[in-house]
């Protein structure tokens, strides 16, 4: 194996291949950092370009795009409160407050370093443990998927802000948005009210970008005339990595946990990187000694989010490389890329095309390093973006969002959906509803429903496997326990506040 790795690096360290990785990473970062454009889009657009290359070079370019695309999302998340891709939703929670407090440098430092480490961690796992982990992933049938998603849905409670009732209602709004379109099993349309264009439902991108970007622009519009923020000059000091060794060591455990969550969620087909960062953030908050500080601009939040989303890359590649099974759109595109190069993804990929597999690994490692360098040296430049007045920057972002929405399926419908959902989100924000649960409900709801139906088909109507299959039972138990704790905590808090109010009366 060591020889293979060495050989792969030798192949990758040619001018042409390196150029492709660097170019791919750079383009990926651009796509990731522009709200509305995603890693998926970058790969879809560049896939045809790889047809004329040899397989190793083609894969090198695609890996660069993948790493860059997932990482680029942190830039607008920290600077503008708009996640560039679904993978950096929770980077906004603490990254943006940090930037507002003048700590953009530190936010970037943590985000970049932990993106890098998370990526590296998952690549190493991919290289050394993929067959074993892929086997575990195969053990996940509908019962297990249902249980895991139900458990993940409880994150809504942790990410609801000050009112759990409003948070849950937001989650239901997300569920509803997820219902629109074809039903999971029989594909008959639901809630489409006769509009054919709604048959495919809402895509993740319009929902996400609509909720974050449109509402951000409208919030900005509110501030005009009130003399706030628009003119507010925030000093961003950037020194070195922006954080001390002690601060870094403090994040060690949190970082490692987030990497593991990222890889674990990444492996599961269909759940993917968009969810990993939210779950890692929620877990970090739940396990923290100071959960109330989350959302105010705390290092832990940025580390959890950015560590997990890059770790999900290696995770998502595990079933692809080990078994030929794509877990999400990006890996499905990569699968197509491999096949068009005459490679046969599947259990024999390692044996038959080991050279290309190791080139994939080598490219991932190099792309990861290059991503880190680009972001580190680009940091000062990104911050300059903010010296562009908001009234010029935000309209341009809206245009790019509309282009991105259009690019989802080359139809204006998705751009219109983006605007519609954005307005809905703004209305909900006005009534103090949190928007993150909408995204959680939207992504996880359909997975839970589909697997519930499938599980019941498999068991011919019997609900018991959901509780008797060990993995499923474990996660459902975990769900009950965590909901129970949450209720108990709230109850305790309530008694406390009731006590204090009676005392003050």
Which residues in 350-409 contact another protein (CB under 8 A)?
A: 389-392, 394-396, 398-400, 402-403, 406-407, 409
CB of 254 to another protein, least distance (A): 32
Residue in the structure block whose two tokens are 């509110």: 222
| Residue 176 interacts with another protein (CB under 8 A): yes or no | yes
By the 8 A CB rule, do 85 and 69 touch? Answer: yes
Give the CA-trace dihedral at 392, 395, 401, 403, to 10 degrees: -100
Contacting residue, 169, 316, 383, 436, with another protein by CB under 8 A: 169
> Cβ closer to another protein: 98 or 204?
204
The residue among 167, 203, 223, 175 whose CA lies nearest residue 428 is: 167
Q: Are strands 181-182 and 189-190 parallel, antiparallel or unpaired?
A: antiparallel
First and final CA of the chain: distance in angstroms?
73
Q: Which residues in 177-206 contact another protein (CB under 8 A)?
A: 179, 181-191, 196-197, 199-201
CB of 448 to another protein, least distance (A): 8
By the 8 A CB rule, do 71 and 32 touch? Answer: yes
CB of 417 to another protein, least distance (A): 9
Q: Which residues in 89-128 contact another protein (CB under 8 A)?
A: none
Contacting residue, 433, 442, 466, 475, with another protein by CB under 8 A: 433
Beta-bridge mates of residue 55? none
Binding mask 127-146 for another protein (x = CB under 8 A): -----------xxxxx----
> Cβ closer to another protein: 264 or 269?
269
CB of 256 to another protein, least distance (A): 28
Contacting residue, 51, 480, 488, 491, with another protein by CB under 8 A: 51
The residue among 316, 306, 314, 318 whose CA lies nearest residue 277 is: 306
Residues in contact with another protein, counted by CB under 8 A, come to a total of 111
Contacting residue, 22, 155, 214, 435, with another protein by CB under 8 A: 214
Residue 344, helix vs strand vs coil? coil
CA atoms within 13 A on the CB side of 473: 7
Q: Which residues in 245-284 contact another protein (CB under 8 A)?
A: 269
Contacting residue, 129, 168, 471, 478, with another protein by CB under 8 A: 168
CB of 188 to another protein, least distance (A): 4
CA–CA separation, 287 and 284 (whole Å): 5
Beta-bridge mates of residue 190? 181
Q: Which two tokens stand for residue 247?
A: 């601060």
The residue among 31, 70, 12, 23 whose CA lies nearest residue 49 is: 23
Contacting residue, 423, 471, 473, 478, with another protein by CB under 8 A: 423
Q: Which residues in 325-354 contact another protein (CB under 8 A)?
A: 325-326, 329, 332-336, 339-340, 342, 344-349
CB of 117 to another protein, least distance (A): 30
CA–CA separation, 329 and 334 (whole Å): 9
CB of 384 to another protein, least distance (A): 16
Length of the chain: 505
Residues 6+ positions from 382 with CB-CB distance below 8 Å: 33, 75, 79, 108
Binding mask 442-461 for another protein (x = CB under 8 A): ---x---x--xxx-xxx-xx
Determine whether 86 is exposed, middle or buried from the number of CB atoms within 10 Å of its CB (0-12, 13-18, 19+).
Answer: buried
Contacting residue, 5, 54, 172, 369, with another protein by CB under 8 A: 172
> Cβ closer to another protein: 51 or 290?
51
């Amino acid at each position: 194996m060591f020889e293979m790795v060495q050989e792969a690096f030798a192949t990758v360290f040619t001018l042409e291949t390196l150029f492709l990785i660097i170019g791919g990473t750079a383009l990926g970062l651009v796509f990731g950092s522009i709200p509305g454009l995603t890693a998926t889009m970058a790969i879809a657009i560049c896939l045809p370009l790889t047809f004329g290359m040899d397989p190793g070079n083609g894969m090198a370019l695609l890996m660069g795009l993948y790493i860059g695309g997932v990482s680029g999302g942190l830039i607008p998340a920290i600077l503008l409160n708009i996640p560039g891709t679904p993978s950096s939703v929770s980077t906004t929670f603490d990254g943006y407050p940090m930037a507002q407090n003048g700590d953009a440098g530190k936010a970037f430092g943590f985000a970049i370093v932990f993106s890098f480490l998370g990526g590296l961690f998952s690549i190493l796992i991919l290289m050394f443990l993929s067959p074993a982990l892929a086997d575990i992933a195969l053990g996940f049938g509908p019962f297990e998927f249902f249980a895991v998603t139900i458990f993940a849905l409880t994150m809504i409670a942790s990410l609801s802000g000050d009112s759990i009732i409003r948070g849950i209602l937001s989650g239901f709004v997300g569920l509803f948005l997820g219902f629109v379109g074809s039903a999971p099993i029989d594909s008959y349309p639901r809630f489409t009210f006769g509009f054919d264009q709604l048959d495919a439902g809402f895509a993740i991108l319009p929902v996400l970008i609509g909720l974050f970007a449109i509402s951000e622009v409208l919030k900005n519009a509110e501030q005009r005339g009130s003399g706030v923020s628009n003119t507010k000059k925030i000093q961003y000091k950037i020194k070195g990595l922006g954080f001390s060794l002690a601060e870094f060591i403090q994040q060690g455990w949190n970082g490692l946990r987030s990497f593991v969550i990222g890889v674990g969620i990444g492996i599961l087909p269909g759940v993917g990187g968009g969810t990993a960062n939210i779950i890692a953030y929620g877990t970090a908050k739940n396990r923290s000694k100071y959960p109330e500080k989350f959302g105010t601009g705390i290092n832990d939040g940025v580390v959890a989010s950015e560590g997990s989303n890059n770790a999900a890359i290696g995770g998502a590649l595990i079933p692809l490389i080990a078994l030929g099974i794509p877990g999400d759109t990006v890996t499905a595109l990569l699968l197509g890329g491999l096949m068009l190069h005459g490679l046969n993804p599947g259990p024999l990929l390692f044996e038959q095309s080991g050279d290309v597999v190791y080139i994939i690994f080598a490219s991932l490692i190099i792309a990861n390093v290059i991503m880190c360098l680009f972001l580190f040296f680009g940091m000062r430049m990104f911050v300059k973006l903010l010296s562009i007045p908001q009234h010029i920057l935000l309209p341009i972002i809206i245009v790019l969002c509309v282009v991105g929405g259009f690019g989802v399926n080359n139809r204006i419908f998705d751009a219109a959906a983006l605007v519609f959902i954005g307005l809905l989100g703004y209305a909900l924000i006005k009534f103090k509803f949190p928007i993150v649960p909408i995204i959680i409900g939207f992504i996880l709801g359909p997975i839970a429903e589909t697997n519930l139906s499938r599980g019941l088909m498999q068991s011919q109507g019997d609900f018991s496997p959901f509780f008797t299959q060990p993995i499923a039972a474990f996660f459902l138990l975990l769900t009950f326990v965590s909901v129970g704790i949450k209720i108990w905590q709230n109850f305790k808090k309530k008694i406390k506040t009731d006590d204090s109010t009676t005392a003050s009366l």
